[in-house]
Every structure is written in structure tokens, then in C-alpha cells.
């Protein structure tokens, strides 16, 4: 998180296909996301998009959805700064449990709503990388 020396050094020293900025819907996190996007643009690192983490919580008992940290801020920042919005990751205790046990949600429960959200984000990231690769390898004047 943030735009500290580590991020800046990596952006300057390592060849990078692009950056994915992850934010929560909270204003303070969105401010950091804006700074990160600005830093990446300044260092000529393409921003592949924004992911909104901890977007909503769905009660496992009643299925009621609650935007604990707000909702939609990541998408709004993406639109304002003209970068792709890659998707939302819900708050899901299974993500933490899977991380602790070494059983990622995508592999352990591939049909869950959370796994589907990750799959959507992965699809969008792959699309942005494909676009980036096309833009950097297509000779000038050639149209697709």
C-alpha cells in the first residue's frame, strides 16, 4: 500500500508490464490509490486498472449485503482517472482462512461468489495485459 520508496524503486529499477492498484472503498484508501496512480504515470508504468477490495460483506446466514467500508469508491476513482476498473473483492472470511491454510479460495471453492469475483478480475487483468502487449508490439500505422 501507498507510494513509498519500495514502490518507487521497483517502478524505476524493474521492467514492469503494468501496475494494479488495489484499494478499499474508504476515502483514505482512495486518496492513496490516486497517489499511486499518479506515481505510476510519472514513472511511465502503465496502470492496468483498479481493484476494489473489501467491497461488501454478505451475511452467511441471511444473505444481506452490507457495504461496511463503503462501496463503489474504486470504480469511481477509476472512472475519474481514466483507468480500467478490474472488479471488486468482497469481504469473505474464507479468503483469510484459505490464506492461513494454504488453500486459496479460487482453488478450494471455485464456484463460490468470491472465487467468481476473482475469476472476473483475472479475466480483466489478462485483457488489459493483452491490450498493453498489442500496443507495445504493433508497428506504427498498422491497424487491428
CB 20 within 8 A of CB 37: no
Averaged over successive runs of 10 residues, the pLDDT of the chain (144 residues) comes to 67 83 94 92 91 92 92 95 96 87 86 92 96 80 60
Cell of 12: 524505476
pLDDT value of residue 3:
58
CB 79 within 8 A of CB 85: yes
pTM given for the model: 0.85
- Whole-angstrom distance, CA of residue 41 vs CA of residue 58: 35
Inter-residue long-range contacts of 45-48, CB under 8 Å, 24+ positions, other chains counted: 45/11, 45/16, 45/18, 45/19, 46/17, 46/18, 46/19, 46/132, 47/18, 47/19, 47/20, 47/21, 47/83, 48/17, 48/18, 48/19, 48/20, 48/84, 48/86, 48/125, 48/128, 48/129, 48/132
pLDDT value of residue 135:
82
pLDDT value of residue 142:
61
Amino acid at each position: 500500500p501507498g507510494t513509498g520508496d519500495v514502490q518507487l524503486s521497483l517502478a524505476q529499477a524493474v521492467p514492469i508490464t503494468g501496475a494494479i492498484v488495489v484499494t478499499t472503498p474508504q476515502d483514505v484508501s482512495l486518496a492513496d490509490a490516486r497517489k499511486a496512480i499518479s506515481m505510476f504515470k510519472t514513472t511511465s508504468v502503465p496502470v492496468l486498472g483498479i481493484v476494489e477490495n473489501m467491497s461488501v460483506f454478505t451475511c452467511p446466514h441471511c444473505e444481506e449485503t452490507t457495504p461496511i467500508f463503503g462501496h463503489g469508491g474504486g470504480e469511481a476513482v477509476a472512472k475519474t482517472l481514466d483507468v480500467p476498473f478490474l472488479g471488486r473483492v468482497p469481504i469473505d472470511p474464507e479468503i483469510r482462512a484459505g490464506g492461513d491454510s494454504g488453500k486459496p479460495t479460487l482453488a478450494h471453492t471455485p464456484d463460490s461468489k468470491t472465487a467468481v469475483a476473482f475469476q472476473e478480475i483475472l479475466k480483466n487483468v489478462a485483457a488489459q495485459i493483452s491490450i498493453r502487449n498489442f500496443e507495445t508490439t504493433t508497428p506504427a500505422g498498422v491497424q487491428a
